[in-house]
Amino acid sequence: MRLLDWIVLLGTLGFIVIYGVWKTRGSKDIEGYLKGDNSMKWWTIGLSIMATQASAITFLSTPGQAYEDGMRFVQFYFGLPIAMVIISITVIPIFYRLKVYTAYEYLESRFDLKTRSLAALLFLVQRGLAAGITIYAPAIILSTILGWNLTLTNLFIGVLVIVYTVSGGTKAVSVTQKQQMAVMMGGMLVAGFMVVRYLPESVSFGDAVAVAGKMGKMNVVDFSFDWNDRYNFWSGMTGGLFLALSYFGTDQSQVARYLGGKSVGESRLGLLFNGLLKIPMQFIILFIGVMVFVFYQFNQPPLFFNESAKDKVYATEFAPEMEALEEQHTALFNQKQEAVHGLVAALRTDDETAIAAAQAEVQGITDASKVVRNDVKALIAKATPDAETKDTDYVFISFVMKYLPAGLVGLLLAVIFSAAMSSTASELNALASTTVVDIYKRSVKKEKDNFHYLRASRVFTAAWGALAIIFATYASLLDNLIQAVNIIGSIFYGTILGIFLVAFYVRYIKGHAVFIAALMAEAVVLYCHFYTDIAFLWFNVIGCVAVVVFGVIIQFFIGQKDDRTYA
Amino acid sequence: MKETDSKPAEELEKPPFFKNWKSMYWLVLGNLAFLITLFYIITRIYS
């Protein structure tokens, strides 16, 4: 990294942190600290919601995903706008009427204390682990690419977030997220512009998109139905809707964003703003990945984008094999150059026969290159068994580091750090508010003054931040850690969603029934995890459906004796 | 009694640009339908 990059990176992050602390200084009570005095306007809420969802991995992985698999990942977000409308109509008015600080607080008025505490505890376990990964995942990639110390990178991200989140609470999170979103989108648009500019002079933007299309990367929508296909229109509209409802409706890191709104209307507009812009935003990020793919049709890509993993093989007895694969890779690229230019020329003629012939030639070489890349992955796994053989997360950052000029590298790194910080800040804020409001204030220290709970909120924010850093620091000691955390999340998420689904839509079921149903559902999910081969993503559905089904059965046997009033 | 009298306060708050929230929701859903159609056309043109 050059001096200008350091200035841009540290200047951008420093400004955001100092601005966040200064702008939100002097929170005097828990209302201001955890709900931002209900002063947030809709654009702040909307940007804050988008920044919370967009973690560093979004900006590192998504372009890589498009490079490998094309645009079709955008379909995953098709259910999100529908979820925003449903939550705006049903969830927001209830939360506002009850003046809740957390989503789980609502469960006490709808059911009882034990159900509220259970949901809060399930959230704390799941989100507490996720906060560590939100820091660790970008830190491991950045430290690998830049040669930085992993522990220091973890500490750098974690401490910056703790500074302004402890100081200004939820308002600081939302205020800084506005700047972070501006940096993220500005940086990505500049990167997109640069990658198109770096295409050969003889290749226009239209040629680039046409080449991407002929190489299967412009596959944005697929209406065919296939259970085994992860991303198509149907899975996006159903699974995407289901996930968005649970994430935006029951996860405190998102609920806190819109609970800080000035009014129901501001909160609704914030969510609808996300519903309007989320898909175009993901489309742009994916499209940048596709343009990086086209760029590498005219410029030789690395044999393996995580070059540090490849270099480690050169230090072993397998070095000659790696050298041979490098030679094959270069030869295939040189061969491909002619074929790709031939495809561009054919596309300009509109001659379908010529286009099909050129496309087949390019495809043949691409398939051969894939075989070489798979051989490289197998060799890396053989030579260094602990190494990660998936390199798509390194595609975009590798392009940034190698081709962007001084200053822009710093800006793109600021994008990644901003994304890591924005989602971590929301998580720490949500963890602290749930700990204080749903556990500490409700069940541990009930009769303290406002200042006591404000101080407790700050202490818990710092404590959760420290825990996240510690978890991120030791994360590398575990194998497949990201998958492990996803599994843990799926184990709890379904049950939490089931409880909320019953709370909002199944009025027949009451407190005792839903509590027992939630415990039974959790037991079923745990049984599935330990004793079956069911894929962990299904745990979300199983947990949710089990809560509803068990709830109905148990309520039937208990009878309608519970006379708790509904919200 | 007027219909609006029985509505909770938050229902009375108007969204910007539109007369009621229903129109806002249709805007979001209409935008989704427009994007899916646009993406479908892009897929067809460039495949």
Q: What is the pLDDT of residues A390-424, one digit of tens each?
A: 888 889 999 999 999 999 999 999 999 899 899 99
Question: How big is the CA angle at A104 (ends A27 and A556), to the nearest 5 degrees?
Answer: 165
Which of B11, B16, B29 is the closest to A81 by Cβ?
B29
Examine residue A313 and state whether it is found in any structural domain, yes or no.
no
Is B12 near chain A, with CB under 8 Å?
no
Q: Looking at the structure, do residues A156 and A55 belong to the same domain, yes or no? A: yes
In angstroms, the CA A158 to CA A132 distance is 9
User: Do residues A428 and A60 make contact, with C-beta atoms less than 8 angstroms apart?
Assistant: no
Examine residue A7 and state whether it is found in any structural domain, yes or no.
yes
Examine residue A303 and state whether it is found in any structural domain, yes or no.
no
pLDDT for residue A562: 56
Nearest chain B CA: its distance from A36 CA (Å): 20
Examine residue A113 and state whether it is found in any structural domain, yes or no.
yes
pLDDT for residue A58: 83
In angstroms, the CA A505 to CA A494 distance is 16
In angstroms, the CA A415 to CA A96 distance is 34
Residue entry with tokens 């708790």: A564
User: Do residues B10 and A258 make contact, with C-beta atoms less than 8 angstroms apart?
Assistant: no
Q: What is the mean pLDDT of residues A344-372?
A: 90
User: Do residues A185 and A330 make contact, with C-beta atoms less than 8 angstroms apart?
Assistant: no
pLDDT of B1 strictly over 90: no
What's the pLDDT band for A306 if we cut at 50, 70, 90? confident
pLDDT of A233 strictly over 60: yes
pLDDT of B7 strictly over 80: no
Examine residue A213 and state whether it is found in any structural domain, yes or no.
yes
Q: Looking at the structure, do residues A462 and A492 belong to the same domain, yes or no? A: no
Q: Looking at the structure, do residues A444 and A457 belong to the same domain, yes or no? A: yes
Q: Looking at the structure, do residues A115 and A15 belong to the same domain, yes or no? A: yes
Which of A93, A218, A222 is the closest to B42 by Cβ?
A218
DSSP, collapsed to helix, strand or coil, labels residue A61 as helix
Q: Looking at the structure, do residues A386 and A410 belong to the same domain, yes or no? A: no
In three-state form (DSSP H/G/I as H, E/B as E, the rest C), the secondary structure along A410-473 is HHHHHHHHHHHHHHHHHHHHHHHHHHHHHHHHHHHCCCCCHHHHHHHHHHHHHHHHHHHHHHHH
Considering A24-38, A116-130, B22-36, the range whose residues carry the highest mean pLDDT is B22-36
Kindly state the DSSP code that residue B15 receives in the 8-state scheme.
P
User: What is the dihedral angle through the alpha carbons of A274, A276, A277, A283, rounded to the nearest 10 degrees?
Assistant: 130
Q: Looking at the structure, do residues A452 and A556 belong to the same domain, yes or no? A: no
Question: In the listed set A339, A365, A390, which residue is the last one of a domain according to the structure?
Answer: A390
DSSP bridge partners of A261: A40
What percent of the residues of chain A are helix, what percent strand, and what percent coil, each to the nearest 5? 80, 0, 20
Structure tokens that stand for A401 in this block? 């580091």
In angstroms, the CA A374 to CA A519 distance is 45
A179, amino acid identity: Q
pLDDT for residue A28: 72
What's the pLDDT band for A564 if we cut at 50, 70, 90? low
User: Do residues A500 and A122 make contact, with C-beta atoms less than 8 angstroms apart?
Assistant: no
Residue entry with tokens 């002619």: A338
Chain B residues whose beta carbon lies within 8 Å of the beta carbon of residue A268: 15, 21, 24
Report the CATH number at residue A149: 1.20.1730.10
In angstroms, the CA A221 to CA A67 distance is 16
Q: pLDDT digits over A439-463, tens only?
A: 999 988 888 888 899 999 999 999 9
Q: Looking at the structure, do residues A469 and A534 belong to the same domain, yes or no? A: no
Examine residue A395 and state whether it is found in any structural domain, yes or no.
no
Examine residue A307 and state whether it is found in any structural domain, yes or no.
no
Q: Looking at the structure, do residues A236 and A343 belong to the same domain, yes or no? A: no
Cα distances (Å, whole numbers) of residue A423 to A54, A177, A221, A394: 7, 9, 29, 20
In angstroms, the CA A415 to CA A138 distance is 11
Q: pLDDT digits over A241-273, tens only?
A: 878 888 898 889 899 999 988 889 999 999 999
In angstroms, the CA A331 to CA A307 distance is 19
Q: Looking at the structure, do residues A177 and A284 belong to the same domain, yes or no? A: yes
For A235, the domain range is: 3-296+401-477
Which of A96, A210, A272 is the closest to B10 by Cβ?
A96
In angstroms, the CA A251 to CA A328 distance is 49
Q: What is the mean pLDDT of residues A202-213?
A: 92
pLDDT of A37 strictly over 80: no
A516, amino acid identity: I
CB atoms within 10 A of CB A335: 15
Which of B32, B36, B43 is the closest to A219 by Cβ?
B43
Q: pLDDT digits over A1-29, tens only?
A: 889 999 999 999 999 999 888 888 776 77
Which of A82, A89, A219 is the closest to B47 by Cβ?
A219
Question: In the listed set A477, A508, A527, which residue is the last one of a domain according to the structure?
Answer: A477
Query: How many structural domains are present in chain A?
Result: 3
Q: Looking at the structure, do residues A468 and A490 belong to the same domain, yes or no? A: no
Q: What is the mean pLDDT of residues A227-248?
A: 81
Q: Looking at the structure, do residues A133 and A123 belong to the same domain, yes or no? A: yes
Examine residue A143 and state whether it is found in any structural domain, yes or no.
yes
Is B18 near chain A, with CB under 8 Å?
no
Q: What is the mean pLDDT of residues A546-563?
A: 85
B9, amino acid identity: A
Q: What is the mean pLDDT of residues A280-287?
A: 95
- Of A38-42, A197-201, A312-316, the poorest mean pLDDT is in A38-42
A529, amino acid identity: H
Task: Select the residue from A41, A209, A220 to test the B interface by mutation, using most B Cβ atoms within 10 A.
Answer: A220
pLDDT of A194 strictly over 90: yes
Mean of the per-residue pLDDT values of chain A: 89
Chain A residues whose beta carbon lies within 8 Å of the beta carbon of residue B36: 78, 221, 233
Residue of A nearest to B36 (CA): A221
What's the pLDDT band for A478 if we cut at 50, 70, 90? low
Is A89 near chain B, with CB under 8 Å?
yes
Q: Looking at the structure, do residues A171 and A277 belong to the same domain, yes or no? A: yes
User: Do residues A157 and A417 make contact, with C-beta atoms less than 8 angstroms apart?
Assistant: yes
Is B11 near chain A, with CB under 8 Å?
yes
Question: In the listed set A446, A477, A508, which residue is the last one of a domain according to the structure?
Answer: A477
pLDDT for residue A482: 56
Q: What is the mean pLDDT of residues A540-549?
A: 91
Residue of A nearest to B24 (CA): A272
pLDDT of B19 strictly over 90: no
Nearest chain B CA: its distance from A470 CA (Å): 41
